[in-house]
Amino acid sequence: MITKEAVLNALSTVMDPDLHQDLVTLNMIENIQIDEDKVSFSIVLTTPSCPLKGKIEADARKAVLTMTKAEEVDIRMTAKVKNSKTIDLGDNCFRHVIAVGSGKGGVGKSTVSLNIALALANDGAKVGLLDADIYGPNIPRMLGIDHLPDIADYKKLRPAEIHGLKVVSIGFMVQPGQPLIWRGPMLHSAIQQFITDFEWGDLDYLVVDLPPGTGDVQLSLAQSIPISGAVIVTTPQQVAIDDASRAVGMVEKLEIPLFGIVENMSYLTMQDGSKLYVFGENGGGSLANQVGTRLLGRVPIDPGIGVGGDIGSPVVMQEPLSDSGKAFVEIARNVAAEASKAAFNKIKSG
């Protein structure tokens, strides 16, 4: 007769490779059921985007098969995003705020923000995207939406909703073609209103597309809401790297954890399968090394990204199995893993 204790004992030998503790200590095991030689249970991960999901499941199965008399193991993989520093604003609740910045404009910050937000949502997380780029609020065009839903019936402003993503853009608030000249206090209250006056509801991740550089919006956001971590996007050229390292400096000054660097437009795949490093090789990787963070991933140059961005058709939705689509999914999962690690370390250090 297999006992629950025997199953838990087996599972306590299985480590979460990111959090460096075993599944039982991490309270990840639920609903153990035993029916003769058949064992079933749930593993509750800290994010549905866990990049190590497959490994954890395989390790758990192997442990139960080898350490108990079970002949059949049925595992249900689920997830619950947790953070002891969850931002609870009554109607709105944000478990992780992820800021996406860059040194320069045009490096693909909005493309990265949008596609990682969509990839997280596709994995099953509740995700919001806030386009706070006052200089170039491009997210609406990239999603093919240009206005907020009709709000007459609601007390609060409602984000637009598309592909399972809640979206608010500073672009919804201004006339197309009109430059935004908000500065200082006005900008600060605009950022605060984005967070409090919209009905975001309960979100696992709020991804914020920041303006390029190191200015007022970054400061206002950091003062308005605790940010779980920042992602810095760069292309491989030296000029972009120089500016990106200044953005890293600002993140450090604001005491925001740095989740890592995304190297965008890394290379172009030629017809014979070889890679052409149009903007130089490994600029983002060297920057990550230099500042002591991780490279979250590389996105190749993909003409489909430019075209898709113009017609509201993001690559993660349109071509999820292309090289760039797969790169965004991997980057999103690495970001989610960093958020889980940051939350876990906060719990451990009290």
Q: Would you tell me which residues interact with Mg ion (CB under 5 A)?
A: 110, 133, 136, 138
Q: Check if the beta carbon of residue 109 is closer than 8 Å to that of residue 208.
A: no
Crossing angle, helix 109-122 and helix 303-310, to 10 degrees?
A: 80
Q: Which is nearer to Mg ion, 128 or 211 (CB)?
A: 211
Q: Does 298 bind ligand ADP (CB under 6 A)?
A: no
CB of 306 to ligand ADP, least distance (A): 4
Q: Does 305 bind ligand ADP (CB under 6 A)?
A: yes
Q: Does 102 bind ligand ADP (CB under 6 A)?
A: yes
Identified binder of ligand ADP from the candidate list 299, 316, 332, 336, rule CB under 6 A:
299
Q: How far apart are CA 91 and CA 335, in angstroms?
A: 26
The set of residues, in sequence order, having a beta carbon less than 8 Å from that of 78 and lying 6+ positions away, is 42, 43, 44, 45, 48
Choices 3-11, 107-115, 144-152, 223-231; region in contact with ligand ADP by CB under 6 A = 107-115
Q: Does 249 bind ligand ADP (CB under 6 A)?
A: no
Residue 218 binds which one of ligand ADP, Mg ion, none, with CB within 5 to 8 A depending on kind? none
Q: What is the CA radius of gyration of the chain?
A: 22
CB of 324 to ligand ADP, least distance (A): 6
Identified binder of ligand ADP from the candidate list 95, 96, 109, 188, rule CB under 6 A:
109
Q: How far apart are CA 121 and CA 133, in angstroms?
A: 22
In the complex, residue closest to Mg ion by CB = 110
Q: Cα separations (Å) of 167 from 86, 90, 170, 202, 284? A: 20, 19, 10, 14, 28
- Write the binding mask 120 to 159 for ligand ADP: x where contact by CB under 6 A, - elsewhere: ----------------x-x---------------------
Crossing angle, helix 53-67 and helix 4-11, to 10 degrees?
A: 130
Q: Does 297 bind ligand ADP (CB under 6 A)?
A: no
CB of 98 to ligand ADP, least distance (A): 15
Crossing angle, helix 323-348 and helix 109-122, to 10 degrees?
A: 80
CB of 36 to Mg ion, least distance (A): 58
Choices 45-53, 72-80, 104-112, 334-342; region in contact with ligand ADP by CB under 6 A = 104-112
Q: Check if the beta carbon of residue 140 is closer than 8 Å to that of residue 146.
A: yes
Q: How far apart are CA 6 and CA 281, in angstroms?
A: 51
CB of 111 to Mg ion, least distance (A): 8
CB of 165 to ligand ADP, least distance (A): 16
The set of residues, in sequence order, having a beta carbon less than 8 Å from that of 76 and lying 6+ positions away, is 31, 40, 41, 42, 43
Q: How far apart are CA 246 and CA 259, in angstroms?
A: 16
Identified binder of ligand ADP from the candidate list 309, 329, 331, 340, rule CB under 6 A:
309
CB of 349 to ligand ADP, least distance (A): 34
Question: Would you tell me which residues interact with ligand ADP (CB under 6 A)?
Answer: 102, 105-111, 136, 138, 264-265, 299, 301-302, 305-306, 309, 324
